[in-house]
Structure 1
Amino acid sequence: MSSTESVIYYDGVVSKPRQAEISPINQDSVLLRYGDALELKQQYLYSEMILIGALGKIKPVIELKNDARIEFKNELPDWFNIKQKDIYQSIWKLERSPSLILFSVVFVVAFGFALVKWGIPFTSHYLAFQLPENTLTKIGNEAEEYVLNNLTQPSQLSQGQKDQIKSDYLLNVAEGRPAKLVFREGDYLGANAVALPNNTIIITDELVELAHSDQEIIGVLAHEQGHLVQRHSLQQGLSSLGFSVLYIAMTGDSSDLLTSLPAAMIGANYSRKFEQEADLYALNSMYKHHIEVSHFANFLQRLNEESDKVEGKTEKNPKKDEKQMDQQKPKTLEILDALSSHPATEERIQMVRDFEAKHPQINMQKPSTKE
């Protein structure tokens, strides 16, 4: 077997590649010949070399002092005595193994799935409960300002209505941890309520008007209180940022990462798990204060029907409505579509019915109508 290997050599002075030959001198050094007739010679020690591993079809490269460089046309020869050779040779062989490639693809897919399914949600949950109160207040204040300035208008409810709702909330929902209730005309939000990390619940006039009793409003506020206690909006916002980071790692596109955390918290659609947790909190709160949970189910049904009516109007004249919506709604607010309805309304109503069946004694109190 020949002990001379044909290589490409860069002398570090000019960028022109030179055809060259490399051969061993002893266990510690090699001789490099280059030039038109290979008349030029250069000796290099292995200790002065840095091996750059091959990737794909790229062949091994040796970095030398003074910016010189040797590029091999094939794999490193057996006599080439650089220390890292055996490790890199093994990696190159594995890299070209179909079974390893298949395993790597399966592993990456499984790892990505696990990261999205459990990793990011778990990390978001942990961080949400580790952040100090002043951080929550700052983030929540930014989100609240965003809602007040961009998504809603001043409330048209009478002061008597507001006072009654606040009184009912403090009596039946607050549990010693009262949130700040902010009343606003819905505008982009419509009939809705939003819980923010600065211990604030924003409730819209449209939602109050949609309710048929005080108990229905209490149910909604208890649901939002559950979101506050579990810090769902912050968890969802952190998850959104986590997914953005994962997307950037996969694509290198960081343009969507500029979306602020407050906007992510407001616009993020709560997961089914979060909705179930908040619903259960509301049901237990209503049960504790002897309020029929059927009021909550009735309101969910009515909210769902109201959403269907809005969608029906859009279907009748889609071109006109879509054009009007595009003109009225800024693109940065498109994420807020998720706020219009909660997922799996029928399942949520069934959850209420199941809870009601397990606690029949809560049906003893009669509902009072809303003023």
Structure 2
Amino acid sequence: MKSVSVIFYDGVLSKPHQAELMALDQYSVLVKYHDHGMKNQKLQTAQMILIGALGKKYPVIELDHDARIEFLNNEIPEWLELGHKNFQQKIWKLEKTPSLIIFSMVFVIALGFAVLKWGIPMAAKIVADELPENTLQKLGNQAQEYVMDWTKPTQLAKGQQAQIQSEYLSKIAQGHPAKIIFRNGERLGANALALPNNTIVVTDELVELAHSDQEILAVLAHEQGHLIQRHSLQQALSSLGFSILYIAMTGDSSDLLSSIPVAVLGANYSRKFEQEADLYALNLMYKQNIEVAHFANFLQRLNEASINTEKDQQQHEKQTDRKNSINLDIWEVLSSHPATAERIQMVRDFELKHSQSNIQQPSK
């Protein structure tokens, strides 16, 4: 009779028994062990659940009456007919294969990279697009409260505000008008923020930095692009990507909605979102016969102003104590959109492309 030595737990006591596992027929086995005399137990293979070898752990058979059979090596007898036996054996052998270990590590790293680079942003876009308007309004209102606390009432004349709003409605809104709020930005400086509650906050410093109404309209068109495509919400959700994964595993979303408003303000737009908003603004300006050069000129001036502001902040940090430096970090969260050379060049290229296109069109 075919047999193999095993460790057997009878399911009554936690005491291990040295035992012999013997084949009776295709559907049953016999376990013989000493416990105040020789004992035999007949077991049905249909009642057995095989737990394959893993690392240095040998295979184990769990039984439905809490009994347990532990093998003394990694080899499961061929005569023992168990479900998934061959599959479990293959897994253990593959686990011991160095090339597979290396491949698994590379795969896990690649998968993690893919989730961070594409998975979370894609999930953020889907969630942002599907959020209902009342949720957007609530999140945007909370973010707006932070901005109101961190800024002061505007010093712009009522007539100047009305003029900017009028031109925005006639040339930029395109049937989707946002609420324009003017604020004195203080250390926020020349800036504009698109909030999920369909609000654009414009600082006095930005208006003062502009040399023409067309430059202000270019900025508003850029922010309108962020609003239309819900970039601020997407970026916030992406920055909270690990939280989203945690929520997916635990189901606890109690803290997510409360953290999104701060993330909306704190997450700098990705290069992709900035390019999309820039392209939206450029196409809209071209459609409204506003020279896109105004956008490039303002980006250049804004970049220079941002550099000077950063230098001032660094100097301010050196002259203040740690407490004030921590408070300053709050303002660094609301950093201005980076007016990089790449974005300015994009505007110049757009201007050149469409100017050449106009020249090539036959006169009517």
- Range that drifts further, 236-245 or 224-233: 236-245
What's 2:361 paired with? none
Contact 1:52–1:60 (CA under 8 A) maintained in structure 2: yes
Contact 1:8–1:73 (CA under 8 A) maintained in structure 2: yes
Counterpart residue identity of residue 201, structure 1:
I
Q: 1:38 to 1:111 in 2, by over 3 A?
A: farther
CA distance in structure 2 between the partners assigned to 1:73 and 1:53 by the alignment = 13
Residue 132 of structure 1 deviates from its aligned partner by 3.3
What's 1:367 paired with? none
Structure 1, residues 29-67: CA drift from partner, whole Å, max 9, x if none? 222233468733322211111122332222222111232
CA distance in structure 1 between the partners assigned to 2:32 and 2:332 by the alignment = 70
Q: 1:224 to 1:187 in 2, by over 3 A?
A: same
Contact 2:195–2:227 (CA under 8 A) maintained in structure 1: yes
Contact 1:186–1:192 (CA under 8 A) maintained in structure 2: yes
Contact 2:317–2:325 (CA under 8 A) maintained in structure 1: no
What's 1:154 paired with? 153
The reply to whether residue 20 of structure 1 matches residue 15 of structure 2 is no
What's 2:87 paired with? 87
Structure 1, residues 327-350: CA drift from partner, whole Å, max 9, x if none? 4257xx5xx745413346111111
What's 1:123 paired with? 123
Contact 1:20–1:38 (CA under 8 A) maintained in structure 2: no
Structure 1, residues 80-132: CA drift from partner, whole Å, max 9, x if none? 22122112112222222222222222333333333333333333333433333
- Range that drifts further, 304-313 or 136-145: 136-145
What's 1:178 paired with? 177
CA distance in structure 2 between the partners assigned to 1:90 and 1:58 by the alignment = 15
What's 1:105 paired with? 105
What's 1:228 paired with? 227
CA distance in structure 2 between the partners assigned to 1:344 and 1:205 by the alignment = 19
- Range that drifts further, 209-218 or 42-51: 209-218
The TM-score normalised by the length of structure 1 is 0.82
Residue 315 of structure 1 deviates from its aligned partner by 4.5
Q: Structure 1: any 5+ residue segments left out of the alignment?
A: 362-371
The reply to whether residue 355 of structure 1 matches residue 364 of structure 2 is no
Counterpart residue identity of residue 71, structure 1:
E
CA distance in structure 2 between the partners assigned to 1:177 and 1:123 by the alignment = 25
Counterpart residue identity of residue 51, structure 1:
L
Contact 1:12–1:69 (CA under 8 A) maintained in structure 2: yes
Counterpart residue identity of residue 107, structure 2:
F
What's 2:145 paired with? 145
Indicate the SS of the match to 1:134. helix
> How do 1:1-371 residues align onto structure 2 when only pairs under 5 Å count?
3-35=2-34, 39-75=38-74, 76-149=76-149, 151-187=150-186, 189-245=188-244, 260-316=259-315, 319-320=318-319, 323-329=322-328, 333=330, 337=332, 339-343=334-338, 345-360=340-355
- Range that drifts further, 306-315 or 74-83: 306-315
CA distance in structure 1 between the partners assigned to 2:72 and 2:338 by the alignment = 59
| Superposed CA RMSD | 3.1
CA distance in structure 1 between the partners assigned to 2:258 and 2:231 by the alignment = 19
Residue 224 of structure 1 deviates from its aligned partner by 0.1
CA distance in structure 2 between the partners assigned to 1:329 and 1:312 by the alignment = 13
Counterpart residue identity of residue 85, structure 1:
K
Contact 2:95–2:101 (CA under 8 A) maintained in structure 1: yes
Indicate the SS of the match to 1:117. helix
Counterpart residue identity of residue 211, structure 2:
H
Q: Structure 2: any 5+ residue segments left out of the alignment?
A: 357-364
Give the length in aligned residue pairs.
Answer: 352
Contact 1:116–1:243 (CA under 8 A) maintained in structure 2: no
Counterpart residue identity of residue 68, structure 1:
A
Residue 280 of structure 1 deviates from its aligned partner by 1.5
Residue 257 of structure 1 deviates from its aligned partner by 6.6
Contact 1:286–1:293 (CA under 8 A) maintained in structure 2: yes
Contact 1:9–1:18 (CA under 8 A) maintained in structure 2: yes
Indicate the SS of the match to 1:340. coil
Residue 12 of structure 1 deviates from its aligned partner by 2.7
Contact 2:302–2:339 (CA under 8 A) maintained in structure 1: no
Indicate the SS of the match to 2:240. helix
CA distance in structure 2 between the partners assigned to 1:246 and 1:323 by the alignment = 35
Contact 1:173–1:285 (CA under 8 A) maintained in structure 2: yes
The TM-score normalised by the length of structure 2 is 0.84
Indicate the SS of the match to 2:21. strand
- Range that drifts further, 172-181 or 9-18: 9-18
CA distance in structure 1 between the partners assigned to 2:293 and 2:334 by the alignment = 23
Indicate the SS of the match to 1:67. coil
Q: 1:3 to 1:157 in 2, by over 3 A?
A: farther
Contact 1:18–1:34 (CA under 8 A) maintained in structure 2: yes
Contact 2:303–2:339 (CA under 8 A) maintained in structure 1: no
Q: 1:293 to 1:44 in 2, by over 3 A?
A: same
Indicate the SS of the match to 1:20. strand
